[in-house]
Amino acid sequence: MFKKGSVSIYFLSIFILITTVISVIAQNNMCRTRALENLRRTNDYLSAEEAVIRFISCCLKNGTPVSGHYAYAGVSFYAECGTDSCLAQISSPVSEMLDIQLCTDMHIYDYVPIRDED
């Protein structure tokens, strides 16, 4: 019925189709894993920002000077406040640096973090 060459081409095309499907599935899983990792890192940043902002705002509200290395709510950071602004540099759980600049004349919960991720 079939010649030997046409059977080989038939099996070769099935093999290529199967490897393509497996490759697409593997690539989809890698993209999903990467997206979940990015989401986890974003959540780490947001929780770290919240802890730092809460700490600095409490210090400013009580008139406590802020300058040096601190650890608050499981977040380690360096903070320094001048007369008109504060700079906090967070070492996040994923060991990347995140800078937050704050204005000292704002009230508690009015802080807006400015991200500078390098």
What per-residue confidence (pLDDT) applies to 26?
81
Helix (H) or strand (E) segment spanning residue 81: strand 75-81
31: part of which helix (H) or strand (E)?
Answer: helix 4-62
Distance CA 41, CA 59 (A): 27
Q: Which two tokens stand for residue 69?
A: 């290395």
pLDDT value at position 57? 73
Supply the pLDDT for residue 107: 43
Q: pLDDT averaged over consecutive 10-residue blocks of the chain (118 residues)?
A: 69 89 83 73 66 74 75 74 70 59 52 48
pLDDT at 11: 85
Among 101, 99, 98, which Cα is nearest to 81's?
A: 101
Per-residue pLDDT, 110: 42
Q: Is the pTM above the cut of 0.85?
A: no
